[in-house]
Structure 1
Amino acid sequence: MLRAHTVEQVRRAEEAAMAAVPEGTLMQRAAAGLATAVIDLLGGAYGSRVLLLVGAGDNGGDALWAGARLAARGARVEALLLSEQVRADGLTALHAAGGWATRDLDELSTTPDVLVDGIVGIGGRPGLRPDAVAALARFEGVPVVAVDVPSGVGVDTGEVDGPHVRADLTVTFGTHKVAHLVDPASAASGALHLVDIGLDLPEAAVEALQTDDVRALLPRPGWDAQKYTRGVVGVRAGSATYPGAALLAVAGANAGLVGMVRYVGPAAVADRVRAAHPEVVGAGRVQAWVVGPGGGDDAAAMLADARADGVPVVVDADALRHVDGPLPGCVLTPHAGELAAMLDVAREEVEAQPLEHARVAARRWDCVVLLKGHHTLVADPGGRVRVTTTGVPWLATAGAGDVLAGLVGALLAAGLEPLDAASVGSWLHGAAATEAADGGPLTASRVAVHIPRVVRETLSPPESGLLG
């Protein structure tokens, strides 16, 4: 599990660690990891030109000490001091190693090969001061390595408000931070490199499933399995106007993770569903429902009928408009526009603060909320949040959400808890899209086709050389 902690959690862990080791040990560990990452990025230190952007606080200190190590390895290191109060010990070390520092942007001697962003620490507020903005603008196009987090982003929220660093690589210490995973700030981090500095950390604020986690959670049929014990998922979706939504939702549900799929909907749509999926049957008992994709005017009745069965429901698309109270045990799967309508706020607010709005929605409706996006968020009413980091931009295509809803419903019917079903389903959906795209465009139908292959590869042991 990839875990991301808040600033307060990190600070408490650092205080505990510092009490057990000599003074300065954590900063030296961080600086060593940062210097190594910069050398790897440059392909070597000797002769390279490095510019440190140094603010007050420990991130500036990390940059200075890393700069001293780089200078000792033969790099030409300059530091632009963006605060009157920088770490004196780090500045002394940089000078002793042959580095140079100035407070005047115009005194810098050459265009660097890399910028090291030590402008703002993890306790900084979103946005940057004009002098930092000017320095970044002067060297636009030069690769940027951020120290811990890109300066200027909301570390605990993933929000951005004003100018901020856009890093090619972020070297973070002890643990990932929320801003590394949560949009829109996650897009500013670039590649992530975690340096272990010896912190003992509590339960994370935000998590992201990895292959091993998905492997452990995926349902597997036992030796005595039969179609009913493996789970039965029902799909109420589609209309004369949108029959394709039913086909796609059924395709997601029918990826092989349950023993049976039932479809209930307009007769003409049902005929098309069974022509495409002859193993799908009609009405009957289910362990979970998927409701809403393409439901149009019938979505309210679809939701009411599904809720009457007293089983978990995945509420998607048109059915989201008819959520009128708590839905414990269920999963809502809105995109930003749909969640904005449900919360009566502007879409731009949800896109600017997805973590906050996903948590608010999960509490309001007492259920798991899967907020679709670049990094999809899955929040439960208790405050737990998982982020999906699989997927490709090509996944932003019509019908992809219908496939996802069906897949999450199948995992619910197979026995996974709502948080697990939603986060595992989102992970598989993104991984299937990555495989289906193969570097190019894709359609929702192709995503559904690739789900069984991704499941097989995920279940394969790591030594097989497949996905794990």
Structure 2
Amino acid sequence: MPHTKDELPDALYSAAQVRALDASLIAAGTPGFELMQRAARATWRALVRQWPTANELSVLTGHGNNAGDGYLVAALAQRAGWSVRVLAVGDRQRLQGDAALAHAEAVSASVSIEPWGVQSELRGIVLDALLGTGLTGEVRKPYVSVIAAINASGLPVVAVDIPSGLCADTGRLLGCAVRADLTVTFIGLKLGLFTGDAADVVGELVFNDLHADPQLLEGAQTSARRLTANNLPRLAPRAPASHKGRFGHVLLIGGDRGFGGAILLSAQSALRSGAGMVSVATRSEHVPAALARIPEAMVLGTSSANQLMGLLKKVSVLVVGPGLGQAGWGGSLLSAAANAPLPQVWDADALNMLAAERVSLPEDCVITPHPGEAARLLGMSTAQVQADRSAAAHALSKKYTAVVVLKGAGSLVASPDGRLALCHQGHPAMATAGLGDVLAGLIGALLAQGMEAFDAACLAVWLHASAGEQQGKLGRGLAASDLIPAIRQLLEEQAPCLK
């Protein structure tokens, strides 16, 4: 993922919340035009840092405040001796207020301003100042063709505040969006810069608060918080006289015929993430492979739910679903788990059977759907889930009174009490089978060691994504099991076993 700088703030806002912050700054005495000038200077500094030898700029403007930022950047570039052209899209007569003042500033700096046309040529660095964070509907003409021209140009692209066409609230493409190499955003980080389609279009992200009063920001309403190495929940150190009984007993249930590897990945992940004891209930034919791969685990060959009953009384956490299947065997084991008064993690086919209403979710659960599973649980399409991932995560958490991990680019963790956390670590090499099984086992291990469900999910998602980012740097061919030793190392760095 390109935008993972730790100096970014933790708070994430909706577009409306950022507009409210902007209004508060103005009400507190900072003129709107001064804020616009600060935004332009921040953009100009970031642009020059990124391309120190460049000397030519093409600025694409619309007619809102985003355009005003663009006109002021053009004036700065002109005064710095660059070759600058503004290509204005739409009617410049619609510029009002601070944006009109910014246009006048560019004119006074002798910036070349001409209307965009089909024959317009882009040169040098391209500055996207077309459409700001207020865009909610689909991108319309003539902006569709302008965005297509920017993306086809092959030139370096800087987006002012947000790439035009990306929804600031949801991270979905509103029909089409500018693919930026660098995005410079202001005042507050927008949630949509970190989830959904954002990773494909934001590029490197630079943030500037425009010298906002920290006290004003402290009292502002937020939508979510980013998970970073500095704000993660942490496991407590272990006492020198610790023993395995203090760190939980995880029972992992799954692995129908043909899917035995999934439950073994989960079990190995739980073991290596610090669970005191690990048991596996799976098909009898998978027992030899399980013992060969994970001799530390206690493996029960299970043909019916009745064989689970004694074990359910001895364990502290359940992980149900990896490789479970949806046939009678998996359904009976899931029903037995659903009646056990234990903290549980439900994944994969456990969620598909839950969506089919073959079973009810018990209390104190973490569910870990990917977008397709989330869609089935909510009775909507995958596209609808992806169109507003935070709304889907909140809806699932409310419907099932559970902590929800909505997986995908910009994974989200939602709590029934309304908390929402976002993890934007990761790597495209993670697009491979079995990673969800590793995550489920990791969450189970953290629950077994005493973490509250939301905290366990947040820490697990960050560890999993960061391990994937670390291992993904080696390129394609990432295997899910590659993450397990990396997760163990990261967990020790975050929360050392000994003080």
Same fold (TM over 0.5): yes
Deviation at 1:119, TM superposition (A): 1.0
User: Which amino acid letter does the alignment assign opposite residue 80 of structure 2?
Assistant: R
Contact 1:126–1:160 (CA under 8 A) maintained in structure 2: no
Name the CA distance, whole Å, in 1 between partners of 2:467 and 2:391. Answer: 28
Partner SS for 2:41: helix
What residue in structure 2 maps to residue 32 of structure 1?
41
Contact 2:170–2:387 (CA under 8 A) maintained in structure 1: no
Deviation at 1:120, TM superposition (A): 1.4
What residue in structure 2 maps to residue 2 of structure 1?
10
Equivalent position to 1:123, from 92, 114, 134: 134
Higher mean alpha-carbon deviation, 431-440 vs 87-96, is at: 431-440
Contact 2:159–2:180 (CA under 8 A) maintained in structure 1: yes
Partner SS for 2:230: helix
What residue in structure 2 maps to residue 135 of structure 1?
146
Name the CA distance, whole Å, in 1 between partners of 2:143 and 2:417. Answer: 39
1:213 partnered with 2:219: no
Map of 1:268-307 to 2, 5 A cutoff?
Answer: 268-281=285-298, 283=311, 285-296=314-325, 297=327, 298-307=329-338
Name the CA distance, whole Å, in 1 between partners of 2:44 and 2:141. Answer: 27
Name the CA distance, whole Å, in 2 between partners of 1:275 and 1:241. Answer: 18
Equivalent position to 1:248, from 265, 271, 274: 265
Percent of residue pairs bearing the same amino acid type: 33
Partner SS for 1:212: coil
Deviation at 1:417, TM superposition (A): 2.0
Name the CA distance, whole Å, in 1 between partners of 2:239 and 2:74. Answer: 57
Change (3 A) 1:305 1:212: same
Change (3 A) 1:63 1:328: farther
Change (3 A) 1:118 1:104: closer
Q: Note the alpha carbon deviations across 1:332-385, whole angstroms, 9 max, x for none.
A: 112122222222323333333333322222211111121221222222223332
Partner SS for 1:50: strand
Name the CA distance, whole Å, in 2 between partners of 1:291 and 1:211. Answer: 29
Contact 1:159–1:353 (CA under 8 A) maintained in structure 2: yes
Equivalent position to 2:158, from 145, 148, 172: 145
Map of 1:157-196 to 2, 5 A cutoff?
Answer: 157-196=170-209
Change (3 A) 1:291 1:118: same
Partner SS for 1:228: helix
Name the CA distance, whole Å, in 1 between partners of 2:30 and 2:461. Answer: 44
User: Which amino acid letter does the alignment assign opposite residue 77 of structure 2?
Assistant: L
Map of 1:15-94 to 2, 5 A cutoff?
Answer: 15-23=23-31, 24-44=33-53, 48-82=55-89, 83-84=91-92, 85-86=94-95, 87-94=99-106
Partner SS for 2:266: helix
1:96 partnered with 2:108: yes
Name the CA distance, whole Å, in 1 between partners of 2:495 and 2:403. Answer: 25
Change (3 A) 1:310 1:17: same
Contact 2:224–2:422 (CA under 8 A) maintained in structure 1: yes
Map of 1:260-409 to 2, 5 A cutoff?
Answer: 260-281=277-298, 283=311, 285-296=314-325, 297=327, 298-323=329-354, 324-325=359-360, 327-409=362-444
Deviation at 1:293, TM superposition (A): 0.7
Q: TM-score, normalised by structure 1?
A: 0.91
Root mean square deviation of aligned Cα: 2.2
Deviation at 1:204, TM superposition (A): 2.3
Name the CA distance, whole Å, in 2 between partners of 1:437 and 1:181. Answer: 19
Contact 1:327–1:366 (CA under 8 A) maintained in structure 2: no
Deviation at 1:326, TM superposition (A): 5.0
Name the CA distance, whole Å, in 2 between partners of 1:136 and 1:357. Answer: 29
Name the CA distance, whole Å, in 2 between partners of 1:306 and 1:12. Answer: 47
User: Which amino acid letter does the alignment assign opposite residue 162 of structure 1?
Assistant: G
User: Which amino acid letter does the alignment assign opposite residue 150 of structure 1?
Assistant: P
Unaligned ranges ≥5, structure 2: 1-8, 300-310
- Count of residues in Structure 1 that have an aligned counterpart in Structure 2: 456
Name the CA distance, whole Å, in 2 between partners of 1:9 and 1:287. Answer: 42
Higher mean alpha-carbon deviation, 19-28 vs 422-431, is at: 19-28
Unaligned ranges ≥5, structure 1: 461-468
Change (3 A) 1:204 1:255: farther
Equivalent position to 1:236, from 234, 253, 261: 253
Change (3 A) 1:220 1:286: farther
Deviation at 1:106, TM superposition (A): 6.2
1:204 partnered with 2:215: no
User: Which amino acid letter does the alignment assign opposite residue 76 of structure 1?
Assistant: S
Change (3 A) 1:459 1:44: farther
User: Which amino acid letter does the alignment assign opposite residue 41 of structure 1?
Assistant: Q
User: Which amino acid letter does the alignment assign opposite residue 18 of structure 1?
Assistant: I
Change (3 A) 1:308 1:129: closer
Deviation at 1:159, TM superposition (A): 2.4
What residue in structure 1 maps to residue 307 of structure 2?
none
Change (3 A) 1:246 1:22: closer
Change (3 A) 1:224 1:205: farther
